Every structure is written in structure tokens, then in C-alpha cells.
Structure 1
């Protein structure tokens, strides 16, 4: 275990928000702990872990108010921690804290039960505020992710209908390309519309074909239409 032996559960009713850190980089955990413990009297770090198994065991033990959760770890990442803990600890709030702002990462942890998603460019003051807000019941996202998340969970053209794991595999740009492709645009027209090169369009189409296990643009068009992407 990577927990500090002095870590202990915050006493009930003392007004502090107990926070647990999950990240496979010890130096990063130390930095976050230092930021939260410096001048933030209402937020207290009660433990930390560097792997999925350590996190599951320690969060069960500490039962913190908020878990700051990395998305990518060698043994499964944040979504796996959520899968194993959310059903048995519904009162614990999970806030993803990741270097990644990739669509598939955001969607995966939010659908797994995280209450928000912030990137590691966040300041210590902003992070403390995010912890307070998710603890209070708000959903919190880094500014550039907020609009994307709203789009993904809406019924707009190009948005992923809730609970469609196949669409979750596609990045936002891949969905943009697929939507135009399904409307009959040629590769050159898609490139002009999205301000990217024809070669980049081809790369995205190849990736979509691979992820969906389809064979050609006509099958993709039907697939996109079935999922309201057109």
C-alpha cells in the first residue's frame, strides 16, 4: 500500500471534507496533497493509493467523502475503480482528475459514475473548489469539457445516445467525420468542412471502420443513421 501510515479517517461532524487520492504517480499525489493541505482548512486528505487494488481496499476502509481519481493506471484505471466501488459505496463521490481530455476517457468515467472530470492543469484553489462542489452535489467539469459532456448526453445530431458502448469507442472528431460521411460528403468536402486534410479524414474513416468492424462507407452510413448521427 502507498498510504501514509499517519492517514486516518476524518472524524464525523467536524465540518471537513475527507479526500482520498488515487494516482499511479507518487510525485503527483504528493503535489496534490500539498496543495490541498496548504491553506484549505475544510479539505483534508485521508489517504492515497497508486493502483486499482490498493484504491479499492483503502477507499473501503476510509470511506472518504470524495475520491480524486486518475483515469489511466496500469491495472485498469478509474473506470475499474468505479465499477468495483460505486455499487457498495453510493455515498462516496468520485471526481476524475486526469491529464487526458480525450472524449472516450471522459465518457467512460462519467458513465461509470464519476460526478465530474477535471484536468491536471487545474490550480490548487480550483481543485479545492471542485472538491467542495461535487461534495455538495454539483457536477464539475473543466471548462473545455463542459460543453462536450452536455453534447454527448443530449439528443443533438452527433451526440452519443446514453448507454451506447459502440459510440463510446469513437472520438468526437470521428463522429464529426462519420456524420458528414453519412450525409454523402466526399472526403475532400469533409476536409474542407472540418478544416483538416484529406489524409486526416481518411485516417479517421479507417479508425471508425476498425472500431465498428464495418467494411465500407455505405455500411457506416446505415450504422450512423441507426444511431441518429445524421
Structure 2
């Protein structure tokens, strides 16, 4: 099933130019054809095309379905890599797997000081359409490390740190019924001072296994584990 994205639903009755072109020119949809839409806020829409224009396709809503809400919140916080292509790939795949919020933060070894949320949002839209979801994860602007530690919404809070002597694995401490926040550090990892500060703020230092992982690989592994527990 092909999904079209229109964040102004249900007020708007038109697809934007890019979605209109794809619908009419690529998929060859015409008047009276039915299409499926999402608003990014948790609702699926079934609609019928009333004007098949390739720049401004008009539709009429036939029915709506609300996406089932999970009783927990999955929050991934990550220090972005210097290469933003890797971060965009991560956000896309994490969204496909399932995550409710993604934050970016600066730590001591961070190499990137600017994150363009607008560009990342395009990857998120593509990912929710691909994975048949109706809700976009919340994306937060780049924050200082100390600010991310003050998060009040999570009950389970973890910091993933490369320590081969640490036998506390994330998978053994996840709880499907509690809001979870997991911190993933930069390529140079967290400093010991940052780990100690996080632990003082209630975070648990956890391992993601015996391999030393790239930042985006570690983040995706954490998201996968959160979904294994909650599915």
C-alpha cells in the first residue's frame, strides 16, 4: 500500500507538489481512484481523488483510522557524527524499527556542532511511509550534554559505554512498561567524567555487547533491543 504524507490533515484537501507529482505522474492515479494518507500525528486516512492535477492533487476523505498508541515512550539520544549522511541513515532506520523521540547532544568528544532538523525530517517522513506508520518521532535540536541528563520523562535511563569489563547488558534491564531513554556517545565515546555525571543523575551504565560499535550501529542496536522488549 502506497502512503502519501500531508501534515495539515484533516484541514487540507490537497497533496503538496512533490506528492501530487508522484501520485499522478508516477503512479498514474486518476479521478475517483482511492489513495491512503498519513498526517504524521497518528492518523491514517482513506481518500478519493477529486482533481487529478500533478501539482495540486485534490482529494476527499472517506474514512480515518487512529494508529494504536503504545503505553511507553522510546527515546534515543545521540551525539551526532561528523558525517551527517550516517546520522540520516540512522534516523531513517530507527524510525522504521520504531522510536518515539530522537535527541541530539554535544559531548566532550563530539565532532559536530550543527544539526539541520529540517533535512532529517525528510528522512523521517520517508521512513514512516516505508514502515506503514502514521506517527513521526519527535526530533529535538542539538542540546548540551548536561541538558539531556535532566530529562524528566524517562523512568529507565541508560548510558551505553565501551567497557569490556561491564557485564550489565542493556537487554537485561529494559522494561516494556516503562519510558526509556538511552544515550549513545560520539566516535570517541563518553569521557569518564560524563559517565560518572550521568550515573549521578540516575542513568545506568550498560553494554551493547563485546564488539566496539560505530555510533550509528550502537544506536540502531539500542533501538532494536527496545523494540524486541516492547513488541
| Greater fraction of residues in helix | 1
- Report the TM-score, using the length of structure 1 for normalisation: 0.33
TM-score, structure 2 normalization: 0.32
**Structure of greater relative contact order (alpha carbons < 8 Å, 6+ residues apart):** 2
Greater percentage in strand: 2
